[in-house]
Amino acid sequence: MQRYKNILLNRTDAARKLVDILPMQKFRDEKWNIVAVSRAGLELGMTIRGKYSNHLDILFSEAIMAPNNPECEIARVSENEEIVLNEELINSFGVQYDYIYGEAHRKHEEDILSYIYQYRKGKPFPDMQNEVVLLVDDGSETGSKFMTALKTILAQKPKAVYIAVPLIPTDVLEILETFVDEIFFLYDIEDYVQTEFYYKDFNDVNDEELEKLLEENR
C-alpha cells in the first residue's frame, strides 16, 4: 500500500497520464462525450478534453447513508432518479427499503435539483442515445458513483461507454469491466484506501471552483 502513497502529483498530473493511454484520435474523431461522475472528475475531464471540442458535463448524484451510521453509504441516487443499492450493507444494517427510497426522493428534490438549477441553469442531463460516453473521476473507492452513472447512461442506450480513472480498487475494476466497453486506468490497487492517499496535492472542489469549471466549459 505504501508504494502507492503520493504516486500522483495532482489531478492535472493524473489527467495528463490518462491522456497518454487514451485513444485520443478516436476520442476526437468519434466526438466522445466526457461525463464527470463527481466534482473532482470534472476537473480531470477538463484536462483530458484539452483543446478538443468534445462535450463535457457532470452527472450529479447523492449518497444515501445508513440511518445508524452517517458515514456509511448504502445506496446512491442520480439526477435521473436511478438508484444503485449496496445490498450487502443494507442487509447487514437491517435497513428498510422504504427508508432508502424515501431518502433517495428527498436527496433528489432537496440537493440534486438545486445543483441542476445552480450549475446547469435548470437544464436536464443531455440524452446520450447512440453517443459514445467517457465517464471520468479522480479515483473510485467503492465504485458507487460509476455504477450510478452507468445505470443512468445505459438506460439511454448509448453507442459505447468507457471509463477513465487514474486509480481503482482491483475488485471494483473487475465489477465495472462487465458493464463497459473498456476501462482506461493507471493503477489498480488491491488494498485501496481513501483516494486522497494517492495524491500529493489533493483538495475538494468547492462550489466556487465548480461554477468556474462549468463556466470555462461553456
**What confidence score (pLDDT) does residue 1 get?**
58
- 189 CB-near residues (< 8 Å, 6+ apart): 1, 4, 167, 168, 169, 170, 198
Same domain flag for 29 and 42: yes
Give strand pairing partners of 160.
132
- Total domain count, the chain: 2
Same domain flag for 94 and 192: no
> What pTM, to 2 d.p., does this model score?
0.94
Closest Cα partner for 124 from 106, 102, 108, 101? 108
Q: Residue 143 — left, alpha, or beta (φ > 0 → left; ψ -120 to 50 → alpha)?
A: left
Closest Cα partner for 55 from 124, 130, 131, 154? 131
Backbone φ and ψ for 96, nearest 5 degrees, come out as -80, 140
Q: Where are the alpha helices (DSSP H) in 74-206?
A: 87-93, 97-107, 113-119, 144-154, 170-176
Above 90 in pLDDT, residue 10? yes
- Residue indicated by cell numbers 493511454: 21
Same domain flag for 171 and 211: yes
Q: What is the CATH number of the domain that holds 35?
A: 3.40.50.2020
Same domain flag for 55 and 78: no
Range of the domain at 93: 62-119
Give tens-digit pLDDT for 60-115. 999 999 998 888 999 999 999 999 999 999 999 899 999 999 999 999 999 999 99
Give tens-digit pLDDT for 133-145. 999 999 999 999 9
Above 70 in pLDDT, residue 217? no
Same domain flag for 201 and 151: yes
Give tens-digit pLDDT for 131-177. 999 999 999 999 999 999 999 999 999 999 999 999 999 999 999 99
Q: Which of 119, 140, 157 is the last residue of a domain?
A: 119
Same domain flag for 55 and 27: yes
Same domain flag for 55 and 66: no
Give strand pairing partners of 58.
36
Q: What is the CATH number of the domain that holds 70?
A: 3.30.1310
**What confidence score (pLDDT) does residue 210 get?**
76
Give strand pairing partners of 164.
136, 184
**What confidence score (pLDDT) does residue 216 get?**
67
Same domain flag for 103 and 197: no
> Which three cell numbers mark 39?
466534482
Burial class (CB in 10 A: 0-12, 13-18, 19+), 54: middle
Give tens-digit pLDDT for 38-55. 999 999 999 999 989 999
**What confidence score (pLDDT) does residue 209 get?**
75
Above 90 in pLDDT, residue 2? no
> Which three cell numbers mark 175?
465489477
Same domain flag for 185 and 151: yes
Backbone φ and ψ for 26, nearest 5 degrees, come out as -65, -40
Share of the chain above pLDDT 70, in %: 98
Same domain flag for 47 and 72: no
Query: Is 169 within 8 Å of 198 (Cβ atoms)?
Result: no
Same domain flag for 181 and 206: yes
Closest Cα partner for 11 from 147, 197, 193, 200? 200
Same domain flag for 27 and 47: yes
**What confidence score (pLDDT) does residue 218 get?**
63
